[in-house]
Chain A
Amino acid sequence: MDDYVTKIVFRYILLVILLYGFYIVLHGHLSPGGGFAGGMVIGMGLLLYFLIFGFEAKAKLRRLPIDVATILIVVGGILEGTKFLIPKEHGPVGMPGTLFSVGIISVVNFGIGLLVASTILSIFYLLVEGEF
């Protein structure tokens, strides 16, 4: 898709998409949303990048999302081991209703967000290229 207008507009809009995605991820415990929804938004934004600018990204970079996804699944599995999602077992908890008030859940949400984004990207690559 070699369209001048799309490219220019996209440069400005990508930042907004990513910012909104991270907002949803980080405010997952304060408003509807969370890791999955925000990760979806981030993933779609990055996917748009590859749709508009083509697939000239380096081969190593293409494998990166799959690696990130796998590592995050592993780390998540370890974290789930004991005391799953009980904030006060993992660290200090602040005032309810503020951004840093849930301890480990923010971290988990962030991880889920990255995981979902990279999973979407890697599924997209695998479907487009057919080979891994």
Chain B
Amino acid sequence: MDHFLKLMPFTIIIIPLLVGFVLAIFARWKKDICPYLILAGVAYAFMISILLTQRVIGGEIIHYHVGDWLPPWGIEILIDELAAMMLLLLNGCSLLILIFSIKSLHKEIPEQATGWYYTLFLLTLTAMMGMVITNDLFNLYVMVEVTGLGACGMVVAKGEKLSTEATLRYLMLATLGSGFLLFGIGFLYQVTGNLNIPYIAAELVKVREQYPFLMWATMSFITVGLGVKSALFPLHIWLPDAHSSAPSPSSAVLSGLVVKVYIVSMLRIYFLVFGFDVFHETYMRYLILLLASLAIIGGSLFAFVQLNLKRRLAYSTVAQIGYIFLGFSLGTKWGIVAALLHIIIHAFMKVCLFLAAGAIYYQTGRKKVTHFSGLGYRMPVTMAAFTVAALSMVGIPLFGGFITKYGLAMGSLEANNPYFIILIVISGLLNAAYYFPIVWQAYFTSGHNVKMELDKVPVTMLIPIVIMALGIIYMGIFPGGTLEFLERAVSRFIL
């Protein structure tokens, strides 16, 4: 038992990975067991992450040295508050998406690909978890690359013209991005001779004055590399195609989880490697601030003109990523807490919305937002959840989105920059402008003689949507505990 406690951070990675590769063999003759096997794997990871989070809440920071090689040389796994939060989020959302995909998947991707699809799912999930909990920069690069490949595979699994083309563009840009990231890591290694984050930080403080330009170059390389992957505004061009042409479970994973983990890694590199004061002094912060503001406005405007529901949701992701970057580049405590909170709440909202889009497609085959009239009465549960998520996107009080908007406003006041409150209000109005027509169509355009009936989708597809909607409402009404936890996480970066 003691041994298991020590190994716990490692098994959370290795068990889903093992399940994924065993599945690849299994899928050849027993295809119908696959979903349950993978469900067991992810459920295990979820349980372990709950246990780890409990330990972290108790005030412990968990270190694990892979293969008992000590830090300057070996790979170190570190689970602090941020990592524990991300683990819980990743595993919980993946579990729900998997429950959704058991019944819906065979309608969206070819029959012989389902087994391999689950393998890719687990590979992506594992690499995301690894990216969150690793404390070693080269390991981070490998995990980034594996996540990129797995995510590309999840998009291409649909096997259509559009998704194949979108995948190629995604793959090219993702590879370019990870090349930039690796070059940045190379600079850091060249200067400091270490790859472990605390050691780099300790060395960097000593040599920072000697290499002023190198710091700039490194920061730019890492910003561009992770910015491409997390779809910072002008680098987002791959995102709408890839996210909208993928099968709905993949869209939910990509939009809700994959783009976030890059932001978390970026945050770690900025605050733990370069240090908070360097981040605060350089102009890189203002660049990200500008790009994030552009993303919020531009993404919303682009989303406004899309008629395909999933494309509209994908552009909305671009705008919401802008919120996260805005909060994190404000560089104040409230701003970063709001950014981290928005990572959670946006994951809930986007997973809910994309799964609802998948359920709508499953029952009616409709994709255009102009064809949704009367849907509120034919699929009441799905549309109710959709409405909750849409209200939260706009930022109505009592829903999760309001809390992050409030936090961002507090952050911009704290940063002596109240203009961003205007930006947040405008973007809320824009969100309303492209989400409310869908809700309006669904409930109020069908005339009087409509019968109320229950959704005709399997129950396993409804449960995740409902749970996500309840999660949004919960975060809107009782955000206290989460905020406290996130403040503890942020207080590790900010002095």
Contacts and interface: CB of A to CB of B under 8 A. Distances in A.
Contacts of B14: 77, 80-81
Nearest to A77: B18
A84 B67 contact: yes
Contacts of B7: 81-82
B69 interface: yes
Interface string B1-27: 000000100100010011001101100
B404 to A, nearest CB: 38
Contacts of A74: 18, 21-22
Interface residues of B, number: 14
A73 B21 contact: yes
Given A77-B18, A78-B18, A81-B10, A86 B24 contact: no
B21 A80 contact: no
For chain A, give the interface size range.
Answer: 10 to 19
Interface in A53-98: 67, 70-71, 73-74, 77-78, 80-86
Contacts of A84: 66-69
Contacts of A81: 7, 10, 14
Contacts of A85: 67
Contacts of A78: 18
A78 B17 CA distance: 10
A78 B7 CA distance: 13
Nearest to A132: B112
A82 B11 CA distance: 11
With a 10 A CB-CB cut-off, give which of B7, B25, B67 has the most chain A CB atoms. Answer: B67
Nearest to A74: B21
B24 A82 contact: no
A85 B68 CA distance: 10
The B interface, classified by DSSP as helix, strand, loop or mixed, is: helix
Given A77-B17, A81-B10, A70 B69 contact: no
Interface string A37-57: 000000000000000000000
A17 B17 CA distance: 34
Contacts of B66: 84
B25 A71 contact: yes
A67 B22 CA distance: 10
Contacts of A82: 7, 67-68
A83 B66 CA distance: 8
Contacts of A70: 21, 24-25
B6 to A, nearest CB: 9
A67 B21 contact: no
A73 B17 CA distance: 10
Contacts of A83: 67-68
Interface in B12-49: 14, 17-18, 21-22, 24-25
Nearest to B3: A82
Interface string B60-93: 0000001111000000000000000000000000
B50 to A, nearest CB: 22
Contacts of A73: 21
Nearest to B68: A83
A81 B22 CA distance: 16
Nearest to A73: B21
A114 B309 CA distance: 47
B64 to A, nearest CB: 11
A63 to B, nearest CB: 8
A71 B66 CA distance: 22
A53 B110 CA distance: 33
Nearest to B18: A77
A113 B10 CA distance: 26
A74 B68 CA distance: 21
Nearest to A89: B68
B43 to A, nearest CB: 19
A77 B492 CA distance: 33
A130 to B, nearest CB: 12
A7 to B, nearest CB: 34
A73 B25 CA distance: 12
A132 B117 CA distance: 14
Given A70-B21, A71-B25, A86 B10 contact: no
Nearest to B112: A132
B411 to A, nearest CB: 42
A73 B18 CA distance: 9
Nearest to B13: A77
A71 B25 CA distance: 8
Nearest to A78: B18
Nearest to B17: A77
A80 B24 CA distance: 20
A73 to B, nearest CB: 5
Most chain B CB atoms below 10 A, which of A71, A81, A85, A86:
A81
21 contacts: A67-B25, A70-B21, A71-B25, A74-B18, A74-B21, A77-B17, A77-B18, A77-B21, A78-B18, A80-B67, A81-B7, A81-B14, A82-B67, A82-B68, A83-B67, A83-B68, A84-B67, A84-B69, A86-B67, A86-B69, A132-B112
Given A71-B25, A73-B21, A86-B69, 6 more contacts: A70-B25, A77-B17, A80-B67, A82-B68, A86-B68, A132-B112
Which 5 pairs across A and B sit closest by C-beta, in order of nearness? A84-B67, A74-B21, A73-B21, A70-B24, A70-B25
